[in-house]
Amino acid sequence: MEGPISPQFVADSIAKHQSKVNIGAHAIFLGQIRADEKEDGFVTGIEYSAYEEMAEQAFHAIREDAFSKFDLTCMHIYHSLGLVPTGEVSLFVFVSSAHRRAAFEASEYIVDEIKTKVPIFGKELVGPAGAYVWKENN
């Protein structure tokens, strides 16, 4: 999705699951942009871009894989493209299950997979003068 993921969007997603009465546990992960200090100042935001077709395929594969590995009722993954300012949310992973263990395990697994397998690129904007560094997951 374009730009930051709002708290309201998260609330609406939660509300949509209240009719699914076989769900006992939701695990939500939110990735928020930190104001890390770099050589030229503090990070003010990240400009995300992606190899979009391949990213869609990668998200789809992660989804299939997670449903086969864990006993989940629902799974939703949203990642921002474009500019996400410091303090705002760029990743929203929402998994739901009858019992908590599957939700916890799937949440951590999916976030790890996204970080390593989805071709999303990030330019960390640094300080007021237009400096930037390319972000790199490790």
Partner 1 sequence: MGINILYFGMLAEISGQANEIWTINDGLSVGDLKKLILEKYPAMGEKKFKVAVNQQIADDQTFVSTQSEVALLPPFAGG
Select the span of 15-23, 36-44, 65-73, 110-118 touching partner 1 (CB under 8 A). 110-118
Binder to partner 1 among 57, 78, 86, 127 (CB under 8 A)?
Answer: 57
Closest CA to 44 of 121, 136, 114, 129: 129
Binder to its own copies among 106, 107, 113, 126 (CB under 8 A)?
Answer: 107
Residue 27 binds its own copies, judged by CB under 8 A: yes
Residue 119 binds partner 1, judged by CB under 8 A: yes
Residue matched to tokens 């990642």: 79
CA distance 100 to 103: 5
CB closer to its own copies, 59 vs 88: 88
Residue 48 binds partner 1, judged by CB under 8 A: yes
Residue 123 binds partner 1, judged by CB under 8 A: yes
Q: What are phi and psi of 10, to 5 degrees?
A: -65, -45
Per-residue CA distances from 91 to 30, 45, 97, 99, 118 (Å): 5, 14, 20, 23, 12
Least Cβ distance, residue 5 to partner 1 (angstroms): 12
CB closer to its own copies, 57 vs 104: 104
